Structure 1
Amino acid sequence: MTTVALAVTDGMLHFELALAYEVFGAVPASVAVPWYRVFVCGPGPVRAGRFRLDPDHGLDHLTRADTVIVPGWADVDEEPPTDLVDAVRAAHEAGARVAALCTGAFVVAAAGLLDGRRATTHWAHTGTLAARYPQVTVDPDVLYVDNGTVLTSAGKAAAMDLCLHLVRLDHGSSIANTVARRLVVPPHRDGGQAQFVTTPVPPPDKHPLADLFAWVLERLDHPLTVEDLARQARMSSRNLGRHFRSVVGTTPLQWLLIQRIRHAQTLLETTDDSIDAIATATGMGTATTLRRHFNRTVGVPPDTYRRTFRSRTPAVPQGRVPHGRAVEF
């Protein structure tokens, strides 16, 4: 997926547009892989918020892209321009992967690319999307949805999550983490995390689970239980569950499983350890258990994942675990 086209027209949200350009357009330092070629496609000079933008190419150039990014659409009460909708549809028919950021889902839905598929958008507009396009299964409770060739995200920060998810699919989690560190954002939040939680998320070192997260990440090879986590956090299991729902938007066990899977991804990418050894290092116990959970979470078996990403990420000596494992807030 070497070429990325940003599909723009008057009324695009400048935040999502700039975000996508920053992720795909800036080559990360010390990354020894071919990076994306990014171009902006539009019908002519366009306005995104208070900014004027001169596209590199017309909308017909979208069909030459491997990935098409559709930024947020400002006025969801209006139908998106027909030329934009037609161009996005044509790009997908030509084989492009299409990713809608925030309310860009309305453009993709108008193109018919979400028919019969699950999708999301900013929580404030999920009802409108579902009512206007009843053939789309709208999920208001997730950060992003990956349907393979068509992806959608919730608003603002979730758009960053989806862009980093695309980088991880193309180049592996190690390089995606490098991009995230440059942008000073969390390296990964799973798409299934809640879009909206009951209380604002405090700074990482201030919330009541901060110490627990660090403690768990150093012990992923242990068979930890909810009771173990609750004991370490000095609270009841029920109270721990409430804090996890508030801070992370999921249950303690689901969060723990995701950390194990992400650690397994890192080991598959950066070591030659056997699947059995990785199962032990991630607390999965057996290769069978690791394969079952990995396949269900990532969508492919560990062996396939390793073959896909192993050649893209420089190896580290066996026994070493790269620094910077992600804690998902």
Structure 2
Amino acid sequence: MSLIAVLALDGVPGHQLTAPGTAFATAARHHHPVAYEVRICAAPGFRGTGGPAPFGLDTPWGTEGLDDADTVVLPGHEGFRAAPPPGVVDALRAAAARGARVCAVGTGTFTLAATGLLDGRRAATSRRHTRELARLYPRVHVDPEGSAVADGPFHSAAGVLGGVDLCLHLITLDHGQAVAIETERQLFLRLHAEPEGAEGADGGGGPDAGQGAAEAAYNAVTPPGSSLEPVTRWMEANLHHPLTLDVIAERAGLGVRSLTRRFRADTGLTPLQYLLRTRIQRAQRLLERTDDPVERIAARTGLGTPANLRHHFQRSTGTSPTTYRAAFRAVVSGITWPERPPRP
């Protein structure tokens, strides 16, 4: 499990404190290999969050909470132009010295720059503060776009939606782009409704056979380095074909029971659960990034008919394909990964 320590300085925007917990918890909830713990640590002098709706915070952790963290996240705060409070510079330098990732959200980059750790390195902050950061800390190479920037163990970003951009960047580094994409989807749309009794059957057959279990808690993501990667890549490339459990096992060179055990251990899903979740995820991407009608999407994903697509899509996401497409484009079409043509 990866430990994320969020260091709260006085006047931190409340949404920059809550965004990391929401993002990393969402990634862990929906992806079997992902595990994060988020710890909120109060810096010396912390009294509460900034406006417009300030609130207090009771946490048992001070700067000592950074001592065993794998990643330290430094949100912005009201006094970002001033020298950091006593103890903050030493705590951040100590974290970097022992090999932790040190990250800054928005104006938190000013505080990180004040430690000298960013001298000679690239960094990002909110776009309206890029020139000011460059003026105050001329040794820092400021990215004018405010995109997530990595330079060695130091990571920084503009702080879109409270730092979700930085969190997705870290999730990508830890678990790959597929996990980050699915986490982004869950975060922004909140359309996924986990039904009870999601275990389902393991039988073979066509798109309908044995796949009611697709509503399992996890999304279809293969951990990097898993021995299942060749067969799951093959499944993703052949979704438009009828794939039975026996066909998948034959492709993997395993017996059905061994294949099922391997899938459960590495992905948290059975092979047919994984297959249906992959088909639904492909349908989501096509709804998000193409104008294909439902009939074509049903064929491209291997779900067969529009009625079958609507049935499984509703069970898996809690909404219809048409509603999903409209909601996605209205909310997040400008801040997600573009659809790329498939490799030949």
Q: Distance in 2 between matches of 1:121 and 1:32?
A: 32
Matches within 5 A, 1:231-242: none
State whether residues 28 and 178 of structure 1, in contact with CA within 8 Å, keep that contact through their aligned partners in structure 2: no
Q: Distance in 1 between matches of 2:12 and 2:234?
A: 49
Task: Give the structure-1-normalised TM-score.
Answer: 0.57
Contact persistence 2:26–2:183 (CA under 8 A): no
* Distance across 2 between alignment mates of 1:180 and 1:108: 26
Aligned match of 2:21: 21
Q: Provide the secondary structure at the position in 2 that maps to 1:22.
A: helix
- Within the candidate set 59, 62, 65, 1:61 is matched to 65
Measure how far apart 1:172 and its partner are. 2.4
Amino acid at match of 2:230: D
Unpaired runs of 5+ residues, structure 2, are 191-221, 238-265, 290-332, 335-344
How do 1:1-329 residues align onto structure 2 when only pairs under 5 Å count?
A: 2-25=2-25, 28-43=28-43, 46-49=47-50, 50-157=54-161, 159-184=163-188, 271-272=229-230, 316=274, 322-323=281-282, 324-325=284-285, 329=334
- Total equivalences in the alignment: 222
Report if aligned partners of 1:39, 1:56 keep a CA contact under 8 Å in 2: no
Q: Cα distance 1:100–1:274, how it changes in 2: closer, same or farther (>3 A)?
A: same
Identity %: 35
How much has 1:156 moved relative to structure 2? 2.9
Q: Does the 8 Å contact 1:171/1:312 carry over to 2?
A: no
Given the two structures, how large is their TM-score scaled by the length of structure 2? 0.55
CA shift for structure 1 position 76: 3.3
Q: 1:268: how far off?
A: 9.5
Structure with larger RCO (C-alpha < 8 A, sep 6+): 2
SS at match of 2:107: helix
In structure 1, what residue type is equivalent to 2:119?
D
State the superposition RMSD in angstroms: 3.7
The 2-side partners of 1:313 and 1:98 are apart by 31
Shift of 1:5: 0.4
Q: Secondary structure at the match of 1:16?
A: helix
Could you tell me whether the CA contact under 8 Å between 2:12 and 2:77 is conserved in 1?
yes
Give unmatched runs, 5+ long, in structure 1: 187-264, 280-310
Q: Distance in 1 between matches of 2:18 and 2:232?
A: 41
> Structure 2 vs 1, CA of residues 31 and 276 (structure 1 numbering), >3 Å: closer, same or farther?
closer
In structure 2, the partner of 1:236 is none
Partner secondary structure for residue 102 of structure 2: strand
Give, in whole Å, the separation in 1 of the partners of 2:189 and 2:125.
21
Q: What are the superposed Cα offsets for residues 109-146 of structure 1, whole Å, 9 maximum, x if unpaired?
A: 11122111111101111111111111100111242111
Q: 1:75 to 1:9 in 2, by over 3 A?
A: closer
State the distance in 1 between where 2:42 and 2:162 align. 24
Separation in 1 of the partners of 2:231 and 2:34?
Answer: 27
CA offset digits 1:271-314 (Å, max 9, x no partner): 517999999xxxxxxxxxxxxxxxxxxxxxxxxxxxxxxx6797
**Other structure's SS at 2:144 match:** coil
Partner residue in 2 for 1:207 = none
C-alpha separation in 2, matches of 1:43 and 1:145: 25
**Aligned partners of 1:15 and 1:156 also within 8 Å:** no
Distance 1:60 1:29, change over 3 A: closer
Return closer, same or farther for 1:92/1:267 CA change in 2, 3 Å cut-off: closer
Structure-2 separation of matches of 1:67 and 1:117: 18
* CA deviations over 1:24-77 (Å, ceiling 9, x no partner): 245644422251111111246531111111223120220210011111122333
- Residues 267 and 273, structure 1, Cα contact 8 Å, conserved in 2: no
Q: Which is worse superposed, 1-10 or 172-181?
A: 172-181
* Structure 1: distance between partners of 2:166 and 2:143: 15
Q: Which has the larger radius of gyration?
A: 2
Whether contact under 8 Å (2:66, 2:72) holds in the other structure is: yes
Q: 1:268 to 1:63 in 2, by over 3 A?
A: closer
Write out per-residue CA displacement over residues 63-113 of structure 1, whole angstroms, 9 at most, x where no aligned residue.
210011111122333222232222112111121101101111011111122
- Judge conservation of contact 2:176–2:224 (CA < 8 Å) in 1: no
Q: 2: CA distance between counterparts of 1:96 and 1:185?
A: 32
Separation (CA, whole Å) in 1 of partners of 2:224 and 2:69: 32
User: Partners in 2 of 1:275 and 1:125 — Cα distance?
Assistant: 43
Which letter does structure 2 place at the counterpart of 1:21? G
SS across alignment from 1:184: helix
SS in 2 for 1:82: coil
Provide the C-alpha distance between the structure 2 equivalents of 1:65 and 1:267, rounded to a whole number of angstroms.
Answer: 23
